[in-house]
Chains A and B, each alone.
Chain A
Amino acid sequence: METAAISAAALLAALVVFGGFAALRGLDPLEVYRVLYLGAFGTWFSVQETLTQAAPLMLTALCTALPARAGLLVIGGEGALVVGGVATVLAGVALAGAPAVLGVVLLCLAGAMAGGLWIAAAGALRHYRGVNETISTLLLNYVAIALMNHLVTGPIRDFAQVLKPASWSVGEQLRVGEIPGTSVHWGLALGVGACVLTWALMRCTTFGFSVDILGGNVRAAQMAGLPIGAMVLATCFLGGAAAGLAGAVEIVAVHGFASSSLAVGYGYAGILVAFLARQNPLAVVPVAIVLGGISASGGLLQRRFGLPDAATLVLQGLLFVAVLAGNTLYGRLRAFRKA
């Protein structure tokens, strides 16, 4: 309850400041809120767009949320997503003749594997060399994007793509479509599934319990003889795998090829989702839907008011600051204090 109330208050505070920015442009804030809601949840069409946006956010949020349970602040979701997407394309070319369902599963595994190893490398540097994981994962984001740009402008470039440099496409039988009756692709089911599985892993297994001990108190984990290195590597690998899977979904369900459209900020928005959900995998699902709604309404805000497309980035940034400032309120609100 306390978490929900404080998160809602943070959302409200961010919206008020955002309304102030809109008012500076001579817009009526209430009208902006109405359009924001309309673009996010107002119609069946916008709800489907919101859910489509939310799917990758659920997966990239796990990239921050899982290592955070072990006490690490990993923000490499963007890079892991890009690496996962590129690996998926490479696997798709290698497995061009694979049968449909098996092929898609293998492609997704390739993406998850690549993303997992990418973040696990940062975890290993942290554990064995003491390299700060926040800075190293942020740097790895830029390395991943530079590597992808190198590949799609040279070694795996498809010159039939004229709009911008892009890689070869994966075969038509290796693509997945929409959930029947909707325009939402199957990535949403994967995202929700991954969040529920992660929640169960953290909640119901000895591994999850050990990770929470490690995150709570390193000294206690050492005293209990827990395998700290293995746990750091495992949480980083699983988190990175989730983001890599998001990259795989972008390939098999959305684009079909790798290009700069992979790096559009899902990884960074995922960090915000993880913090807003207080690193709880189950809470990631609704929070990702709210954030997906903000992204989905960006287009409508742009068309209706001529607001720059960065307006949703501003709202996300304000929300992030408000959420962190809200951390100070925990345990200090009288209404939630236990007698």
Chain B
Amino acid sequence: MSELGWWGVLIAVAGGAIRVSTPYLFVSLGETLTEKSGRVNLGLEGTLVMGAMSGYAVAYLTGSPWLGALVAGLAGALFGLLHAAVCNLPRVNDVAVGIALFLLGTGLAFYLGKPFIEPVAPRLPHLALGAWSGSPAVRAALEISPLFLVGLVLAPLLAWGLRHTRWGLVVRTVGDNADAARALGYSVERVRALATMAGGFLAGVGGSFLSLYYPGTWNEALSSGQGLMAIALVIFARWNPLACFWVSLLFGGATALGPALQSVGITTNYYLYNAAPYVLTLVLLVASSSTKHRLVGAPSELTISR
């Protein structure tokens, strides 16, 4: 890759953006749906790790990575159910429950996942969209996971669904004015539980991408706050699923910066570049927040945007 010089860095960052962005995309889409119903689930980082572990374990035990991805989603939905069940009790703070599930999810994943650190599970296949190119760098950048394509379809689908369908309207009503939804005869608790479970499902699938595609192994240092950054990303994307897609790509690129620079021989300050995505998240969060007015697109019932 070195003969490409700085072009190599650019291609590696672009390829990395596509490769690394998928977990961000799934978690942020899930969180968007949950937050549109008026709840915050800060525990998606734990759900992501739990999804990574359970997906890897099932793929290893059954030999089918796709079954692993499905089970990862179901584990995520289970965590969403737990979050919703505790939050549906009166006077329980959803942000605090999210932190608790973040700790429980990572702890449980490490506890149950200990036996699966050594074995090698089958990985999800990839589509070689760069087969036409003679350059190995371009070919590597265009190896695309089917899960990325699923996310690519899911983002506009979710945007359309929230805007134009009946259930989308119900979710938005519950998130913007719970009393109005109750007056219409909808159970606020049940809608929020379903939205949190669906969000957890997506986050769990996003986790299985980490363990079954890229980096493609299970260990305790697999996720380093991707789930958390994805939640911050939702605020920057103004609760818009299509914006989530573009911002996920941006974050993927930021995460890929350190390894890309390393590949052209710039290895000094490697750990400093590792801080890039977190600093970027903070900067975007500062830029998109304001004390003067409410954020555009924010569901009114949301505790973190008050």
Contact = CB atoms under 8 A, between A and B. Distances in A.
B114 A131 contact: no
Contacts of A327: 89, 91-93
Contact of B97 (A150, A272, A321): A321
Interface string B94-132: 011101110111111011001000000000000000000
B289 interface: yes
Given A313-B103, A316-B103, A321-B104, A129 B289 contact: yes
Interface string A243-254: 000000000000
B168 interface: no
Contact of A125 (B90, B93, B286): B286
Interface in A229-246: none
Contact of A310 (B100, B114, B272): B114
A313 B99 CA distance: 13
Interface residues of B, number: 48
A317 interface: yes
Interface stretch (A39-47, A134-142, A200-208): A134-142
A70 to B, nearest CB: 15
Nearest to B220: A310
Contact of B274 (A135, A146, A307, A313): A146
B95 A130 contact: no
Interface string B279-291: 1011001100111
A316 B107 contact: yes
Nearest to A135: B232
B271 A153 contact: yes
Contacts, number: 146
B228 interface: yes
Contact of B304 (A127, A129, A132): A132
Given A140-B282, A275-B96, A321 B42 contact: no
A75 B43 CA distance: 13
Contacts of B269: 150, 154
Contacts of B9: none
A271 B103 CA distance: 10
B107 A132 contact: no
B275 interface: yes
Contact of A129 (B90, B110, B275, B290): B290
A268 interface: yes
Interface in A1-44: 21
A106 B286 CA distance: 34
Given A135-B285, A310-B110, A321 B274 contact: no
B278 A131 contact: no
Nearest to A312: B107
A147 B269 CA distance: 10
Contacts of A127: 291
Contact of A147 (B107, B268, B275, B305): B275
A320 interface: yes
A131 B285 contact: yes
B111 A328 contact: no
A143 B100 contact: no
A177 interface: no
A21 B95 CA distance: 26
Contact of A146 (B86, B108, B231, B275): B275
With most chain A CB atoms within 10 A of its CB, the pick from B103, B229, B279 is B103
Nearest to B268: A154
A271 B229 CA distance: 20
B92 A325 contact: yes
B99 A271 contact: yes
A105 interface: no
A147 B273 CA distance: 10
B229 A317 contact: no
A149 interface: yes
A232 B82 CA distance: 33
Contacts of A307: 111
B236 to A, nearest CB: 11
Nearest to A310: B110
A138 B278 CA distance: 10
A131 B95 CA distance: 15
Contact of B282 (A139, A271, A311): A139
Nearest to A325: B86
A124 to B, nearest CB: 11
A189 to B, nearest CB: 28
Given A143-B278, A275-B96, A317 B108 contact: yes
Contacts of A100: none
B8 interface: no
A142 B100 contact: no
Nearest to A143: B278
Given A154-B268, A310-B107, A131 B289 contact: yes
Interface in B156-195: none
With most chain A CB atoms within 10 A of its CB, the pick from B99, B268, B269 is B99
A328 B95 contact: no
B100 A311 contact: no
A125 B291 CA distance: 10
A324 B86 CA distance: 8
Contacts of A132: 235, 285, 289, 304-305
A216 interface: no
A143 B42 CA distance: 18
Interface string A296-339: 00000000000111110110111011011101101000000000
Contacts of B224: 142
Given A130-B290, A317-B101, 15 more contacts: A130-B289, A131-B286, A136-B285, A142-B275, A146-B275, A147-B275, A149-B274, A308-B110, A310-B107, A310-B111, A313-B103, A314-B104, A324-B96, A325-B89, A330-B91
7 contacts: A128-B291, A135-B304, A143-B275, A150-B271, A154-B268, A314-B104, A328-B92
